[in-house]
Amino acid sequence: MAAHNGHTSEVAGTVGGTVLTIIGSLQLHDLVKTVILATVGAVVSFTLSLLMKWLAKKMGRPRN
């Protein structure tokens, strides 16, 4: 078991301060823009994967 020497609380304080600074500097429109871009990216990625799967299936069939 490791001894507690204060280093952990220094790291926690540094990480906590950094996170709070980042959160404080974010503006609502930046957050909304990020959420919208992430959603669009996920939808496009999912749609393209379905399209590629469909094309692979279609091209893999032997023609009569």
> What are the angstrom distances between the C-alpha of 54 and each of 36, 40, 42, 61?
27, 21, 18, 11
Domain segments of the chain: what residues?
27-64
Q: What sign does the CA torsion over 21, 22, 25, 29 have? A: negative
DSSP string, 43-64: HHHHHHHHHHHHHHHHHHSPP-
Average pLDDT over residues 16-20: 88
pLDDT at 27: 87
Could you give phi then psi for residue 61, rounded to 5 degrees? -75, 135
Query: Does position 40 have pLDDT exceeding 80, yes or no?
Result: yes
Query: Does position 52 have pLDDT exceeding 90, yes or no?
Result: yes
